[in-house]
Amino acid sequence: MSYPYQITSLEQYQEAYKKSLEDPEKFWQAVAENFQWRKKWDNVLSWNFSQPKVEWFSGAKLNITENCIDRHLAVMGDKPAIIWEPNNPEERTRVVTYNRLHKRVCQFAQVLKNNGVKKGDRVCIYMGMVPELAYAILGCARIGAIHSVIFGGFSAQSIADRLDDAQAEFIVTCDGAYRGGKDIPLKSVIDDALIGNKTIKKVIVYTRTRTPVSMIKGRDVWWEDEMLFAEDQLEKEGTINFPAAEMDAEDPLFILYTSGSTGKPKGVVHSCAGYMVWTTYTFVNVFNYQPGDIHFCTADIGWITGHSYIVYGPLSAGATSVMFEGIPTWPDAGRFWDIVDKYKVNILYTAPTAIRSLMGFGNGPLQGKHLDSLKILGTVGEPINEEAWHWYDENVGKKKCPIVDTWWQTETGGILISNLAGVTPSRPGWATLPLPGVQPLLVDDQGNEVQDKDENGYRKGNLCIKAPWPSILRTTYGDHERCRTNYFAAYPNLYFTGDGALQDEAGNFRITGRVDDVLNVSGHRIGTAEVENAINMHAGVVESAVVGYPHDVKGQGIYAFVIDSNTHGDEELTRKDILQTVTRIIGPIAKPDKIQFVNGLPKTRSGKIMRRILRKIAEGETENLGDITTLLDPAIVAEISKGRV
Ligand code: WTA
């Protein structure tokens, strides 16, 4: 497969960028010609950000799985689509060719059909990183059901909330998942999530860990039995093929929940055609993908990075995508390097938090690893500090691999700002330039485009985007108004990212982090309001305030200030109780790193918590806490500052 839209020089990038702005319809139409459509579009783009309403390729008919699988079969059927590396390096590797992927996805689509799943139904997927997770996702897409993957680290309560919000009727899960030295009992978490649930009709359970599970008659079925039955059915008809559902360009493809600044996660909705075009286009261009390259994205498919750059983008480009079940530090901190050598990985895409954590083990785990297959490195999820960037460059890339710093979000579907590997220049800590079709700008709090430059010639402001790219979110599930107020209302006619950024005179962007009450902990988005809600559920907690503080490995750590009425209790025990409560309500990823018990919180006379002061205290600032004269009780600040943990 070759990619006529592949950008191979800086001049070509500049040219493409210019054209994409002058005539977006012409530009994206030309890119879209490289996909397989049942019927082409009537209209390339129509949009307004005030509702918001965005439509790309409307009138077109397609199925994304025909693009990710079927169209590759004739010439690349025997080529690996997915190479799976198990948690335990002693266990057998699995290589899934495009032919095999086709068969399994068709079988699973039949399984879904047999269990009553129809186009448009919501299917929740809660699995570990096994190839069956990819079959489940693509099986949904093939039948036109909307998948909603939930990361394996979320608790029963979080799952229950998401099932309810999506009105999901089906679940695909595993008995358990292996992650490093741990077995995570996924099915049992699902069972807890289903207590009181009224919408779920069927639960399909894949056997991975052989941990005992309870199977409820009439509701729970085994993946293996269902797949065999489906295979028989399909074979009876002579060939294994499950005809893909014909989808409208704008039909929803999936929901993925993500944190915002309110207490409740939002179900970000992506649609079929635009998402397909964007993830493929960006995969090929950002990573400079060459046919035959082995691509290894270390993310979990429970997050958007895995959706777009393990599954949809690479497969649609006919690439080989490595999928890893385990964690970077097990059985030792050389695991990524072993995988790179074992499969001769060419492109490695990971998160700054993983790099920092591996850096902490020193260079020992790199001894004896060749890493000579590597051509391109990438990072995603949070700003990368220069120290980590250089470590990655010197020790992993041996100074010969371009590093792409890719900025994007769940809501953007794919990469929006990044250098293109080996094509446009990289710069440590900078995501650099926007992809064709992306028009970022920086505004001040009033929404005026920032003009002033600092002494370095940098502009600084809130990062917005002026016009839609094909994979912009279409809505938040079940609540379009929420989508509008969250992303399109802060500044009229702009998509607001929630991030702050700098821009230099050449137009390069450096993302500085969130400007709203959202934390980025190990590259995972966590809303402070969600953590506060969870803490406040603990008996005895009167009120709490959560802020982020710089953390060497996680990027940001979670610092909670808690007013606890149980003043005579054992503080250490209460602290543990609170951690347990957060684990129950959200999941272990949201556990505060530090909890400080306080007698009061700094509030304005109108009752608003002054987080800026708490943030400074959490960061270790003692002197310069800013103006505290407007506080109801200014004395509380000194007291809190003294008690910092
Ligand atoms: C942050 C992950 C700096 C940012 C794909 C964004 C980044 C949030 C970068 C989205 C980067 C992502 N440099 N910050 N290269 N990439 N971020 O939805 O704050 O999990 O808003 O999507 O991660 O996180 P999400």
What's the rounded Cα separation, in Å, for the pair 175 and 292? 35
Beta carbon of 334 within 6 Å of any ligand 1 atom: no
Instruction: State which of 382, 404, 556 you would mutate to test the pocket of ligand 1, scoring each by most atoms of that ligand within 8 A of its C-beta.
Output: 382
What's the rounded Cα separation, in Å, for the pair 59 and 43? 7
What's the rounded Cα separation, in Å, for the pair 307 and 548? 27
CA atoms in the 13 A half-sphere facing the CB of 89: 17
3-state secondary structure (DSSP) of residue 614: helix
Beta carbon of 432 within 6 Å of any ligand 1 atom: no
Q: Between these two residues, 77 and 565, which has the higher pLDDT value? A: 77
Name residues whose C-beta falls within 8 Å of residue 509's C-beta, 6 or more positions apart in sequence: 407, 417, 430, 431, 432, 433, 434, 440, 463, 501, 502, 503
Which numbered atom of ligand 1 lies nearest the CA of 524? Answer: 20
Ligand 1 centroid distance, CA of 455 (Å):
27
623: left (phi over 0), alpha (psi -120 to 50) or beta: alpha
| Average pLDDT score over residue span 208-216 | 97
Beta carbon of 209 within 6 Å of any ligand 1 atom: no
Instruction: Confirm whether 85 is domain-assigned.
Output: no
CA 374, 380, 383 angle in degrees (round to 5)? 120
Closest CA to 565 of 608, 532, 535, 599: 599
Which numbered atom of ligand 1 lies nearest the CA of 305? Answer: 5
The pairing of beta strand 94-97 with beta strand 80-85: antiparallel
User: What's the pLDDT band for 570 if we cut at 50, 70, 90?
Assistant: confident
Ligand 1 centroid distance, CA of 358 (Å):
20
Give the H/E segment covering residue 348.
Answer: strand 347-350
Beta carbon of 431 within 6 Å of any ligand 1 atom: yes
What's the rounded Cα separation, in Å, for the pair 636 and 62? 61
DSSP β-bridge partners for residue 546:
560
Ligand 1 centroid distance, CA of 54 (Å):
22
**Both tokens assigned to 43:** 């209209």
3-state secondary structure (DSSP) of residue 267: strand
| Average pLDDT score over residue span 386-399 | 98
What's the rounded Cα separation, in Å, for the pair 76 and 187? 36
Using the 3D structure, point to which of 496, 514, 532 is the last residue of a domain.
514
What's the rounded Cα separation, in Å, for the pair 6 and 2? 8
Which residue type, as a one-letter code, is found at position 73?
L
User: What's the pLDDT band for 326 if we cut at 50, 70, 90?
Assistant: very high
DSSP β-bridge partners for residue 350:
379
The pLDDT score that the predictor gives to residue 77 is 97
Encode pLDDT of 31-53 as tens digits: 999 999 999 999 999 999 999 99
Instruction: Confirm whether 83 is domain-assigned.
Output: no
Ligand 1 centroid distance, CA of 407 (Å):
6
Closest CA to 496 of 544, 444, 437, 435: 444
**Both tokens assigned to 18:** 């210019």
Beta carbon of 407 within 6 Å of any ligand 1 atom: yes
Instruction: Confirm whether 266 is domain-assigned.
Output: no
| Average pLDDT score over residue span 606-627 | 89
Ligand 1 centroid distance, CA of 186 (Å):
27
What's the rounded Cα separation, in Å, for the pair 422 and 535? 47
Alpha-helical (H) ranges within 360-464 are 386-391
3-state secondary structure (DSSP) of residue 237: coil
Instruction: State which of 269, 353, 407, 528 you would mutate to test the pocket of ligand 1, scoring each by most atoms of that ligand within 8 A of its C-beta.
Output: 407
Beta carbon of 408 within 6 Å of any ligand 1 atom: yes
Q: Ligand 1 atom 6: the closest Cα is on which residue?
A: 409
Ligand 1 centroid distance, CA of 514 (Å):
9
The pLDDT score that the predictor gives to residue 260 is 85
**Is the pLDDT score of 280 beyond 70?**
yes
Ligand 1 centroid distance, CA of 385 (Å):
14
What's the rounded Cα separation, in Å, for the pair 449 and 451? 6
What's the rounded Cα separation, in Å, for the pair 80 and 98? 6
Instruction: Confirm whether 267 is domain-assigned.
Output: no
**Is the pLDDT score of 237 beyond 70?**
no
CATH, residue 611: 3.30.300.30
Which numbered atom of ligand 1 lies nearest the CA of 406? Answer: 15
The pLDDT score that the predictor gives to residue 238 is 65
CB-CB contact of 276 with 67 (8 Å) = yes
Instruction: Confirm whether 157 is domain-assigned.
Output: yes
Ligand 1 centroid distance, CA of 332 (Å):
28
Ligand 1 centroid distance, CA of 409 (Å):
5
The pLDDT score that the predictor gives to residue 408 is 98
3-state secondary structure (DSSP) of residue 115: coil
Same domain membership, residue 49 and residue 112: no
Q: Looking at the whole model, is its pTM more than 0.85? A: yes
For the range 282-285, what are the long-range contacts, defined as Cβ-Cβ under 8 Å and sequence gap of 24 or more?
282/308, 282/313, 282/414, 282/415, 282/418, 282/435, 283/308, 283/309, 283/313, 283/314, 283/316, 283/317, 283/319, 283/414, 284/3, 284/5, 284/6, 284/317, 285/5, 285/6, 285/7, 285/420, 285/423, 285/435
Using the 3D structure, point to which of 469, 495, 514 is the last residue of a domain.
514
Beta carbon of 305 within 6 Å of any ligand 1 atom: yes
Beta carbon of 514 within 6 Å of any ligand 1 atom: yes
Helix, strand, coil percentages in the chain from 3-state DSSP, rounded to 5: 35, 25, 40
Encode pLDDT of 495-539 as tens digits: 999 999 999 999 999 999 999 999 999 989 999 999 999 999 999
DSSP state of 419: P
Same domain membership, residue 489 and residue 465: yes
The pLDDT score that the predictor gives to residue 538 is 95
The pLDDT score that the predictor gives to residue 632 is 86
DSSP β-bridge partners for residue 349:
297, 378
Which numbered atom of ligand 1 lies nearest the CA of 405? Answer: 15
Q: Ligand 1 atom 22: the closest Cα is on which residue?
A: 409
Ligand 1 centroid distance, CA of 618 (Å):
23
| Average pLDDT score over residue span 561-571 | 85
| Average pLDDT score over residue span 268-280 | 98
Beta carbon of 383 within 6 Å of any ligand 1 atom: yes
Beta carbon of 322 within 6 Å of any ligand 1 atom: no
Same domain membership, residue 548 and residue 504: no
The pLDDT score that the predictor gives to residue 630 is 83
The pLDDT score that the predictor gives to residue 262 is 82
Direct distance between the N- and C-terminal alpha carbons of the chain, in angstroms, rounded to an integer = 57
| Average pLDDT score over residue span 43-67 | 98
Instruction: Confirm whether 529 is domain-assigned.
Output: yes
The pLDDT score that the predictor gives to residue 264 is 87
Domains held by the chain: number: 3
401: containing domain:
10-59+272-514
Share of the chain above pLDDT 90, in %: 93
Encode pLDDT of 123-158 as tens digits: 999 999 999 999 999 999 999 999 999 999 999 999
CB-CB contact of 404 with 379 (8 Å) = yes
Same domain membership, residue 213 and residue 70: yes
What's the rounded Cα separation, in Å, for the pair 438 and 524? 24
What's the rounded Cα separation, in Å, for the pair 423 and 288? 8
SS (H, E, C) 150-177: CCCCCCHHHHHHHHHHHCCCEEEEECCE
The pLDDT score that the predictor gives to residue 623 is 82
In angstroms, the Cα distances linking 327 to 178, 187, 502 are: 9, 21, 33
Same domain membership, residue 49 and residue 106: no
CB-CB contact of 48 with 288 (8 Å) = no
Encode pLDDT of 338-356 as tens digits: 999 999 999 999 999 999 9
495-503 sheet: strands from edge to edge: 440-443, 459-465, 495-503, 509-514
**Is the pLDDT score of 569 beyond 80?**
no
Ligand 1 centroid distance, CA of 631 (Å):
34
Same domain membership, residue 127 and residue 152: yes
CB-CB contact of 410 with 321 (8 Å) = no
Q: Is 421 exposed, middle or buried (0-12, 13-18, 19+ CB in 10 A)?
A: buried
**Both tokens assigned to 308:** 């777009």
CB-CB contact of 589 with 524 (8 Å) = yes
Beta carbon of 502 within 6 Å of any ligand 1 atom: no
CB-CB contact of 339 with 345 (8 Å) = yes
Same domain membership, residue 175 and residue 217: yes
Same domain membership, residue 287 and residue 205: no
CA atoms in the 13 A half-sphere facing the CB of 431: 27
Encode pLDDT of 81-126 as tens digits: 999 999 999 999 999 999 999 999 999 999 999 999 999 999 999 9
Cα-atom radius of gyration of the chain, to the nearest Å?
24
| Average pLDDT score over residue span 553-567 | 92
Beta carbon of 499 within 6 Å of any ligand 1 atom: yes
Same domain membership, residue 311 and residue 459: yes
Beta carbon of 410 within 6 Å of any ligand 1 atom: yes
Beta carbon of 525 within 6 Å of any ligand 1 atom: yes
Same domain membership, residue 406 and residue 291: yes
Ligand 1 centroid distance, CA of 305 (Å):
10
Encode pLDDT of 462-485 as tens digits: 999 999 999 999 999 999 999 999
Instruction: Confirm whether 217 is domain-assigned.
Output: yes
**Both tokens assigned to 64:** 């994304």
Instruction: State which of 154, 298, 435, 511 you would mutate to test the pocket of ligand 1, scoring each by most atoms of that ligand within 8 A of its C-beta.
Output: 511
Ligand 1 centroid distance, CA of 408 (Å):
5
Beta carbon of 304 within 6 Å of any ligand 1 atom: yes
Same domain membership, residue 427 and residue 340: yes
Ligand 1 centroid distance, CA of 541 (Å):
32
**Both tokens assigned to 182:** 């741990």
CATH, residue 492: 3.40.50.12780
DSSP β-bridge partners for residue 255:
148, 269
Beta carbon of 511 within 6 Å of any ligand 1 atom: yes
The pLDDT score that the predictor gives to residue 229 is 97
**Is the pLDDT score of 631 beyond 90?**
no
Q: Ligand 1 atom 11: the closest Cα is on which residue?
A: 407
Instruction: Confirm whether 256 is domain-assigned.
Output: no
Same domain membership, residue 172 and residue 288: no
Ligand 1 centroid distance, CA of 71 (Å):
32
Torsions phi, psi of 612, nearest 5?
-60, -35
**Both tokens assigned to 162:** 């998401």
